[in-house]
Structure formats: structure tokens, C-alpha cells
Structure 1
Amino acid sequence: MLASTLPSADSPAPRVRRFAFEYQTTVHGVPANARELDLWLPVPHADASQDIGELVVDAPYRYEILAAPYGNRVLHLRVKKPSTTDFTVTMRFQVARREHLNPAVRQPAAQSTRIDPADPNLQRWLAADGLVPLDDSIRHWARQVVAQAHATAPLDQARAIYNHVVSTVKYDKSGQGWGRGDIYYACDARRGNCTDFHALFIGYCRALGIPARFSIGFPLPPERGAGEVKGYHCWAEFYTPATGWVPIDASEAAKNPDKREYFFGAHDENRVEFTRGRDLMLAPRQQGGPLNYFIYPYAEVDGQPFTGLANQFRYHDATRE
């Protein structure tokens, strides 16, 4: 069991957003001589911050939904001798997404006995990722950040890293190199998108022995309504024995400076999480290498990565609150 995310008696109740979500991909351009096509879609999981219900899949071929590492779920279909005709897979589901607030961060006196440190993946969240190595340079830079802030306790060190990332990295998707979650790109360029911000935060935390994990999903605009979601969003959490898992969103804080304090210890309800972790192996295991992260569909034709996928993502709020 993970740390409780329930607010204390003195804390406001987390906001909840209820909406329908549609995840669709169309496979096109399959080679005429293809012997086998595999397609994987990420399936959102329920956890303390979200409920997933009424999952319906519309697919022209038999599929299965399988468990994957770190509590993730995967929809997989395999087509023998696939036709060259395009086909579409659509996944629809209902979401109740709760604002994720850590009361121990927002109210230090609330650091409580409700924290359960058990997590079967805790050691994984201390280890390197392919694009987030834990080498001498990363450790040196992380130590410099916390030393400048005179931070010694894990919670204070994580806050120092968060403040450093938000203050020194610009949300900027111009040029090339951004979007891969490459910690050395983020260190050198000091700009990027959410993957780059959180690669830096997670890498520095892990370099100091603070478990930190990556999650990815889709953002929703704060205004209630309906529309298309154009791209993914990712965020992070770190763990201390005194607080349990603490949510942070460094890229949103950089884009919205007035919410800098809020996004240390909170994730808003305007999102839905699909997968956790990086360097992911799917179920059944893909023949290609680990996925850097998994939010868009992944396909292979005869064991080779296949990119003929056109995607669309839509949401519709249950109420216009």
C-alpha cells in the first residue's frame, strides 16, 4: 500500500473532476507483405487519485488487456497476415480525477502515522533511467543545489531541487532536443517541456537517495466543457518516510509562477494518468527496446517498430461546473 493522500481534518477536501475520455488510433500503411502486426495502447489505471470506469474498446480484431510493471495496464492486439486496409481502435472510459494533495507538506504538523512505506518498486525509483543516468556529474550538481539551500532533510532537499528546476529551466519547445526527458539536455539547454523538467528533478532526487517516479497522461484545460487534447503531459512524485509520496509539477509551476507553491505538494484535478515509469517493457514484451515512456500507441510489424499510426484524444466533462 502506498502513502495515504487523504487530507487532514483541517485541510480542504480535494477537488474532483468527472469526465469521459476517448483515446483513438488508426493504423494505416501496413506493408502488403507483412506477416504479423502487434499494437499496444496504454490503458489508464485506478489509484488513490483517480477512478477509471466503464471502459469500452471498439476494435476490429481480438484484443486483451494485460498487467504491466509498476501497476500499468496495456491493451494488446496481434493480427496475423494483416490487411493493408486501415483500421481504428477506440477506447472510451469514465474518469473521476481527484486533486492530489499531500497534507504533510502543506501542513507540517500533519506528518502522520498514516504513512505506509511499503512499495515493491521503491528501489526502482532510486535507479537510473536510460536518459537519466546517475553519474558523478549528476551527483555533484545535485549536491551543489542542496548545499546552496542549506538543505539536509530529504523534504528540504527535494524542495531545493524543485525551486532550482523551476527557477533555472524555461518552458520552451523551440529547436530540437526537447521532449525526450534527457537530463543532460535539460542541464545544458536549460529549457524544454515537461519531460525535460521532470528528468532533471527526478535525476537530482535519486542522486541524493530520494526515491522519485515519473508519470504521464493527458492534461485537460481548467475550463469545463469538451474538446480535443493535442498532446501529453507528465509529472513527478518523490518519497520520504515522513511524508510518503509527494506530488510535484515543475513544468506547470514554471508556466504559472503564481502556482509555484501549489505545485510543490499537489497535482490538480485537470489531468488523467495512463502510465508510470520510464524504460518500459510492455505485455506481451515488444521485440524492440524499452520505451522511453508510453503514452501514445506503439506498434511493430514483423518485430520492427511501425509508425503508421494516427491518433486522436478527446474529453467531455460530465458537468459544466
Structure 2
Amino acid sequence: LVPIDGKIKQWAQEVIDAAGANTDLEKVRAIYKHIVATVKYDKSGQGWGRGDIYYACDARRGNCTDFHAIFIGYCRALGIPARFAIGFPLPADRGAGQISGYHCWAEAYIKGIGWVPVDASEGAKNPAKREYFFGAHDENRVEFTVGRDLVLNPKQAGEPLNYSIYPYAEVDGKPFTSVDNNFAYRDLAAPSTNNSRE
């Protein structure tokens, strides 16, 4: 769902040309800024949530999966390695509770720096934190898997998984979708550091 073709490369090139970006870091930043300024976090209607770059570019809306499909596709079309990561968000004032859904983000590889994290959907939702979410992630997330189009080990009989966040099972070589899942969190007390000897 994130092909690298002439159209994607053209769109990516238009973004970096408009920004006057030259280095890979400048290009990645320009792509991020373009996405947070032009894509709306909106889960209404149909089509969102699959990470389909063509849907996301046409609709200019979607969830985190759609935001990062554009980011990853544009980076890769320009020869910049980029990858997808997915996990669960945690509320800032944790305690204990249920997790209602997943959250995803992306990283781009810049020579001499390494993997640079971005969260374009959070940047779009929180304009005051747009600069922060380019190059940083908050502590309110737990990463489960990296990548898309996943082949499991042992290999599943079904198609590669678009991404992996919820349990996957097969019965008689066919995907079994009636797997119940429940995700929760709770804060744990820090271990005692009392090292006194009696």
C-alpha cells in the first residue's frame, strides 16, 4: 500500500523543491512539515486506517497509519530509508486502564545521525508540539512491531500482514479473525532502593 512509483516520486520532489531542501535531513523535515500542514486527522467515512498512500494523498485525511504512509513513501521515493513502527498510546496521567486502540509513527534514516523519529499525526493534531514530534517521541507509547507487509515465522498461509498490532491466528491454513484481545496498562511501583544493612 506504499508503492514507490513515478507519481509518488513526483509529489515528493514537488514538496522538497518548494521547501528548497538539499540535504536528506532538510528533505525529511520538509516532508514532515508538508504532511502536518496539509493532512487532517479524521477517521470519518471509509478508506482510512489502511496506510494506503494513494488514499491518503487524495483524501488528505486519515489516521496515523495514513499520515505515515505518505511520510514513508515520500522519503523512500527520494532514496531516504524510512520505516513504520506501531504500538499502543498511553495517557499522560496513567495509573491503570484499558487501551482502546493502536498508534503508529515513523523513522527516517539520516547518514551521520541515525534513525530520526517523527510522529506526523500527533504533530498535525497538536500544532504547539509540531517541532517536538520531528526528531522526538514522547514517553506515552509502547512500541510493539516495526515494518509493514510482514511475513511471520513460521510463515503464515495468508497474505503478508499490512502491519501487526493485534493477535493473528490461522485455523486450517486460513486467517481466524475471531480472536478476542484486551490490552490494559498499570503503573508499577519502583523497586525499593533501601540498601541499609542491619
TM-score (norm 2): 0.94
Does structure 2 retain, via aligned residues, the 8 Å contact 1:250–1:263?
yes
Question: Structure 2 regions of 5+ residues with no counterpart?
Answer: 191-198
1:153 aligned residue: 23
Q: 1:234 aligns with which of 104, 109, 128?
A: 104
Does structure 2 retain, via aligned residues, the 8 Å contact 1:224–1:319?
no
Q: Deviations over 1:97-127 (max 9, x none)?
A: xxxxxxxxxxxxxxxxxxxxxxxxxxxxxxx
SS at match of 1:267: coil
Amino acid at match of 2:51: G
2:63 aligned residue: 193
Q: Aligned-pair distance for 1:319?
A: 4.8
Quick one: distance in 2 between partners of 1:254 and 1:222?
A: 18
In the alignment, structure 1 residue 168 sits paired with structure 2 residue 38:
yes
2:172 aligned residue: 302
Q: Aligned-pair distance for 1:318?
A: 2.0
Amino acid at match of 1:290: P
SS at match of 1:300: strand
Count of aligned pairs: 190
In the alignment, structure 1 residue 133 sits paired with structure 2 residue 14:
no
Quick one: distance in 1 between partners of 2:24 and 2:142?
A: 28
Quick one: distance in 2 between partners of 1:202 and 1:283?
A: 25
In the alignment, structure 1 residue 280 sits paired with structure 2 residue 142:
no
Q: Deviations over 1:207-227 (max 9, x none)?
A: 001100000110001113110
Q: 1:206 aligns with which of 76, 79, 83?
A: 76
1:259 aligned residue: 129
Which structure has greater strand proportion?
Answer: 1
Quick one: distance in 2 between partners of 1:222 and 1:237?
A: 22
1:313 aligned residue: 183
Quick one: distance in 2 between partners of 1:224 and 1:302?
A: 41
Which structure has greater helix proportion?
Answer: 2
Q: Deviations over 1:12-33 (max 9, x none)?
A: xxxxxxxxxxxxxxxxxxxxxx
Q: Which has the larger Rg?
A: 1
Does structure 2 retain, via aligned residues, the 8 Å contact 1:216–1:233?
yes
Q: Deviations over 1:58-84 (max 9, x none)?
A: xxxxxxxxxxxxxxxxxxxxxxxxxxx
SS at match of 2:183: strand
Question: Structure 1 regions of 5+ residues with no counterpart?
Answer: 1-130
SS at match of 1:206: helix
Amino acid at match of 2:16: V
Quick one: distance in 1 between partners of 2:118 and 2:100?
A: 22
Q: 2:49 aligns with which of 179, 182, 186?
A: 179
In the alignment, structure 1 residue 290 sits paired with structure 2 residue 160:
yes
Quick one: distance in 2 between partners of 1:176 and 1:220?
A: 26
Q: Deviations over 1:212-260 (max 9, x none)?
A: 0000110001113110000011011101112111011000111111100
In percent, how many aligned pairs have the same letter?
73
Does structure 2 retain, via aligned residues, the 8 Å contact 1:142–1:205?
yes
Amino acid at match of 2:171: V
SS at match of 1:186: helix
Q: 1:250 aligns with which of 108, 120, 131?
A: 120
Does structure 2 retain, via aligned residues, the 8 Å contact 1:167–1:254?
yes
Quick one: distance in 2 between partners of 1:300 and 1:244?
A: 37
1:74 aligned residue: none
